[in-house]
Structure 1
């Protein structure tokens, strides 16, 4: 696949490795995410999925290899510079301001994007445009009536919804979701699945998820990781049908001849 076909690659990992001492958390991973994809990363525990996310978002430095966003080498760029290029992440370990209201959390992100610092919060009345944007984002993630609650008062599922709103406030081209359904009730998972499915096509979504039902409902492309290596990437059906993937998940099955 060339970089110049109509499904150009938005994210490209070229032989990326991450070692912790002698432990190879990621070993020579090559992966391409095309623009507009709903791309899931799956794999058993210890596969290196969250490490991979850290290398893409910039929270972890690579040991070797390169990360490209839209053809630009971002391997050495810090998180905020990647955000400027349209990469936004939500993590299992939340980065919300728990004492602030739901609305203020989103507004802070909107103002940061608009170039106003945190001082902008103190004169919110003067920013009707950003305020309207923040309310629209809360509507979009399903929290329109919770704007006055503090982030600390939200349920686990609502916090994840708020994190998505905060990430979307940066106007991302690539949205990274790290186990978005972790710890959610079935109803919350269903709501989150709907929310991700409804995101516009110009937002490319890359997500790590344990909930395979959610993966196969949402993803058009699935990459399988196993023991720090990239096992395969394909359509959900191709991945489901792969004996190699089944072995990775189930361990080797003794077959009597």
Structure 2
């Protein structure tokens, strides 16, 4: 299968501390790929380097063969990379619909550029038509992630689990090819985690998912490929069964005898 994302010898240093040290990673197109590891393994740093919120100290990051190592977050969004983060980036005073609409329009602006209006009258009609299409897309995404009937609430009125669902809708609003999910189940109840797991599992196959997550039950239910980081280095990549059975992975998780599913 074609690789959508590749990391080649990627490192990130904070002074003398090597948060990531020469990591290689390949994520194939259409994969459900999870990154796990004990606390301090470098998972969030890896996520930041791929999304563009952190700059790499060394190495190369490729998206569909294009070098994005030095590109901004916005440039990566334009190439189809979208992310949700551990800490909410929602506009809590805006409505649920408006949060998604901003993402949909952001993607449209990136694609259309200055082609939005030639004359004042036709330009206004085109913009009105584009706005209508964007609203319809935003409503469809909210229904897709399980938030029908919540469109007019403010994001701040949603439960924690619903905010996570909204963040996925916002990310999908940019029409991503690569969706990065950073600890999406953090702080969720078991019921909320189950709903989110179902939501991620139902995403279209053309959306490649890279998941960073502590909840191993969620990981092993969703992922077809798992990469383990330990002390900033690549430890193991394989199927869920291969990773569960690997002695080096069990040792990394504080000497436990089994990485449970």
> Does the pair score TM above 0.5?
yes
2:30 is matched with 36
Query: Where do 4+ consecutive residues of structure 1 move more than 6 Å?
Result: 123-126
Q: Distance in 2 between matches of 1:37 and 1:29?
A: 19
Q: Distance in 2 between matches of 1:252 and 1:107?
A: 46
SS in 2 for 1:205: strand
Between 1:173-182 and 1:91-100, the stretch displaced more is: 91-100
Query: Is it true that 1:235 corresponds to 2:229 in the alignment?
Result: no
1:77 is matched with 71
Residues 99-114 of structure 1 aligned to structure 2 (within 5 Å): 99-114=93-108
Q: 1:125 Cα shift?
A: 8.7
SS in 2 for 1:188: helix
* Residue-by-residue CA offset, 1:52-103 (whole Å, 9 max, x unaligned): 0000000000011010000011001000000111000000111111110000
Query: Is it true that 1:220 corresponds to 2:224 in the alignment?
Result: yes
The structure 2 residue matched to 1:248, chosen from 242, 248, 252, is 252
1:4 is matched with none
Residues 36-55 of structure 1 aligned to structure 2 (within 5 Å): 36-55=30-49
Report if aligned partners of 1:124, 1:131 keep a CA contact under 8 Å in 2: no
1:15 is matched with 9
1:171 is matched with 175
Q: Which runs of 5+ in 2 are unaligned?
A: 114-123
Tell me the TM-score normalized by structure 2.
0.90
SS in 2 for 1:189: helix
Q: Distance in 2 between matches of 1:124 and 1:186?
A: 43
2:117 is matched with none
1:211 is matched with 215
Q: Which runs of 5+ in 1 are unaligned?
A: 1-6
1:141 is matched with 145
1:56 is matched with 50
Tell me the TM-score normalized by structure 1.
0.91
Q: Distance in 2 between matches of 1:213 and 1:90?
A: 20
Q: Distance in 2 between matches of 1:124 and 1:143?
A: 25
Q: Name the CA shift for 1:124/1:220 in 2 (closer, same or farther; >3 Å).
A: same
1:3 is matched with none
Q: 1:113 Cα shift?
A: 1.3
Report if aligned partners of 1:18, 1:64 keep a CA contact under 8 Å in 2: yes
Q: Distance in 1 between matches of 2:155 and 2:129?
A: 21
SS in 1 for 2:20: strand
